[in-house]
Amino acid sequence: MEQPNPIADTERTWAAVAHLAPLVGYFVLIGQILVPLAILLWGPNTPFVRAHAKEALNGQISYTLYGLALFLLAITVVGLILAVPLGLGLVVVALWNMVQGALAAGRGEMYRYVLILRLVP
């Protein structure tokens, strides 16, 4: 029986960075989207790294869209009551997915974010 190719350490590192680097990107305008996009376009061209970068990019695009929707909801008086707990929930889900994705990448496994739009095929 043939063993599958093990994932190289550099590939696992790049894949983990694709999930965690958006944390730094949040301090720059749309940096949370640009960092996974840069890894997807200019990072190692391996199926493992590309799959993780696409998943992280889809997650960050989705979270940005959800955040914009919550902002629009928050500018209404009634919406503010809903937007604050939903915003906190969004932050928890986003952080959970990013950490779980990075941990899976470190183990050489794939990870699918929950509750996101898959806009980048």
* The predicted structure's pLDDT at residue 79: 75
Q: Which residues have C-beta within 8 Å of that of residue 53, sequence separation ≥ 6?
A: 14, 15, 18, 36, 37, 39, 40, 43
Burial of 8 (0-12, 13-18, 19+ CB in 10 A): middle
What average pLDDT does the segment 17-35 reach?
83
Give buried/exposed letters for 51-73 (b at 16+ CB in 10 A, else e): bbbbbbbbbbbbbbebbeebeeb
pTM > 0.75: yes
- Describe the crossing of helices 47-74 and 9-20 by its angle, rounded to 10 degrees: 10
pLDDT digits 0-9 by tens, 60-117: 999 999 999 999 888 887 777 888 899 999 999 999 999 999 999 999 999 999 989 9
